[in-house]
């Protein structure tokens, strides 16, 4: 889930401090991996509390999945039909199929500590005007929106200490079942998405195609020649291009693979002018896509950040003039007018806050303000239809049509 304090503690090995939910992205990435391995390793002893379904229900990619009501876990429920779902809640995850079909995963914790992995999923089909409860609380590992009514998530597999299972919901998160296997897929189906998932948390992920109607999952026949590790299940897609970041297995340099034919074939660009990443802490480039063939990649190796832009499959290095030294955080997004916006994380008096640096057409970066978006908001994300959204630490979801002007979708 996004912004979990325990992920920072896992990565930094230090006591929690009374601050906000955000910290440097690269620290979170390390914490997510350690947290995932730790949670998977303890699944056998606590399967009833941590898995989404029982061992009998989680037949990994079962061809005929049984429907599971839930998948429930002990914990507080979200009020049914609550029009203000974030009141008294923390948003642990937000997702959008488009500007109308929105999802939130909420935790209700009167006092810390609490079971942060247990959340209640709520959905809106009218752009946040009304919300509906999606059933009993669940404990997902990585939620992803596949379509307006289709969600997919990973969960620890009780049969293997390092295993993960893939589950799908075709009714907006109300019921869940093991994702049905469709064998080998030649391409991502029309309207479908591509995900990068591994049955073992300690292994590089493998690209799969997901059918938005059936939730069926098939391993793509053509795999890009990258070492792929990602905490985001769904890979980037825009203007008919799939993009996946990783590292070149030979040089250990950052790289991006692109497919223009729904995953049938791939072309790979290795950033040869970037430093090779250390073997034990190899982080892939952070991608930001637009509604066109343009994409950005931010490479971070040993504290050095480099920005690249692609028009189609041709990548070029951009200037980082104007950016402050020691910029913490590698997240970025592209506004509707084509401006690339980088995120800087700062430690404020009341918690971590974000500052934004923007550049367009290869010009120098300059500090900018995002009107209406609190500095404590989490990473900005872009829905497939171009709508931008970001949750805030206080439990409010914000939305924007252009990435510059923001307004609350939910209110405390």
The reported pLDDT for the residue numbered 29 is 42
Q: How far apart are CA 309 and CA 318, in angstroms?
A: 7
What does the pLDDT read at residue 357?
A: 94
The reply to whether 2 falls in a domain is yes
Instruction: Look at residue 280 in the predicted model and tell me its pLDDT.
Output: 62
pLDDT digits (tens, 9 = 90+) for 116-146: 678 889 999 999 999 998 877 888 888 999 9
Does residue 389 fall inside a structural domain?
no
DSSP per residue, 163-202:
BEEEEEESSTTSEEEEPPEEEEESSPPTT-EEEEE-SBTT
* Domain membership flag for residue 283: no
User: Which pLDDT tens digit goes with each residue over 203-232?
Assistant: 888 999 999 999 999 999 999 999 887 768
8 A C-beta contact, residue 119 and residue 107: yes
Number of neighbouring beta carbons within 10 Å of residue 289 = 20
**Low-confidence spans in the chain with pLDDT less than 70:** 1-88, 108-116, 160-162, 231, 279-281, 303, 326, 328-330, 350, 411-412
d(CA 369, CA 181) in angstroms, rounded, equals: 46
Whether residue 134 lies inside any domain: the answer is no
| CA 62 to each of CA 65, 70, 167, 214: distance values in angstroms, whole numbers, following the listed order | 5, 18, 10, 13
For CA atoms 54, 60, 65, 68, give the dihedral sign: positive
C-beta neighbour count of 172 within 10 angstroms: 22
In a domain, 293, yes or no: no
Give the range of the structural domain holding residue 11, as residue numbers without chain letter: 1-41
Instruction: Report phi then psi at 38, rounded to 5.
Output: -65, -40
Please indicate, yes or no, if residue 345 is contained in any of the structural domains.
no
**104 part of a folded domain:** no
| Angle between helix 5-12 and helix 25-41 axes, rounded to 10 deg | 90
CA–CA dist 389, 70 (Å, integer): 27
Alpha-carbon distance of 334 to 388, in angstroms, equals 10
Q: Which residues contact 51 (CB under 8 A, 6 or more apart)?
A: 43, 58, 71, 139, 155, 156, 157, 158, 165
Phi and psi at 47, nearest 5°, equal -60, -35
Question: How confident is the model at residue 112, as a pLDDT?
Answer: 57
Closest among 317, 313, 381 to 343, alpha carbons compared: 381
- Supply the pLDDT for residue 244: 94
Could you check whether the bond before residue 77 is cis, i.e. omega within 30 degrees of 0?
no
> Is residue 9 included in any domain, yes or no?
yes
Threshold 0.95, pTM exceeds: no
- For residue 221, the Cα-to-chain-centroid distance in whole angstroms is 24
The residues pairing with 210 across neighbouring beta strands, listed in sequence order, are 193, 217
- By three-state DSSP, how is residue 59 classified? coil
With CA atoms as reference, report the closest residue to 285 among 36, 33, 29.
29
Number of domains into which the chain is organized: 1
């Amino acid at each position: 889930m996004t912004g979990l304090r325990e992920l920072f503690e896992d990565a930094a090995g230090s006591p929690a401090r009374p601050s906000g939910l955000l910290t440097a992205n690269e620290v979170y990435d390390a914490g997510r991996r350690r947290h995932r391995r730790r949670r998977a390793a303890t699944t056998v002893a606590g399967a009833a509390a941590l898995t989404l379904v029982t061992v009998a229900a989680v037949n990994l990619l079962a061809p005929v999945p049984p429907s599971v009501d839930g998948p429930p876990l002990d914990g507080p429920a979200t009020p049914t039909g609550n029009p203000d779902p974030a009141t008294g809640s923390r948003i642990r995850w937000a997702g959008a199929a488009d500007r109308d079909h929105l999802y939130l995963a909420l935790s209700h914790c009167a006092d810390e500590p609490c079971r942060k992995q247990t959340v209640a999923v709520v959905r809106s089909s009218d752009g946040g005007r009304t919300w509906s409860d999606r059933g009993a609380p669940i404990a997902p590992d990585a939620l992803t929106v596949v379509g307006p009514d289709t969600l997919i998530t990973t969960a620890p597999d009780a049969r293997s200490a390092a295993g993960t299972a893939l589950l799908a919901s075709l009714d907006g998160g109300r019921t869940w079942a093991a994702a049905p296997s469709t064998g080998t897929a030649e391409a991502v189906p029309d309207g479908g998405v591509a995900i990068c998932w591994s049955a073992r948390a300690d292994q590089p992920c493998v690209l799969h195609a997901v059918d938005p109607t059936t939730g069926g999952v098939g391993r793509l026949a053509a795999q890009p020649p990258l070492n792929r590790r990602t905490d985001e299940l769904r890979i980037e897609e825009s203007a008919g291009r799939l993009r996946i970041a990783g590292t070149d297995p030979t040089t250990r340099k950052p790289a991006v693979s692109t497919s223009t034919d729904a995953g049938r074939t791939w072309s790979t660009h290795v950033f040869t002018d970037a430093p090779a990443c250390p073997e034990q802490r190899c982080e892939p480039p952070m991608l930001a896509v637009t509604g066109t063939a343009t994409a950005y990649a931010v490479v971070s190796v040993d504290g050095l950040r480099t920005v690249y832009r692609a028009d189609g499959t041709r990548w070029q290095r951009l200037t980082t003039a104007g950016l402050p030294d020691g910029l913490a955080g590698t997240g970025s997004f592209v506004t509707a007018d084509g401006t690339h916006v980088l995120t800087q994380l700062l430690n404020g008096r009341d918690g971590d806050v974000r500052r934004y640096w923007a550049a367009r057409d290869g010009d120098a970066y300059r500090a900018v303000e995002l009107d209406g978006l609190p500095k404590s908001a989490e990473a900005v994300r872009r829905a497939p239809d171009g709508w931008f959204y970001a949750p805030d630490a206080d439990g409010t979801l914000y939305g924007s049509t252009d990435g510059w002007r923001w307004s609350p979708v939910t209110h405390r």
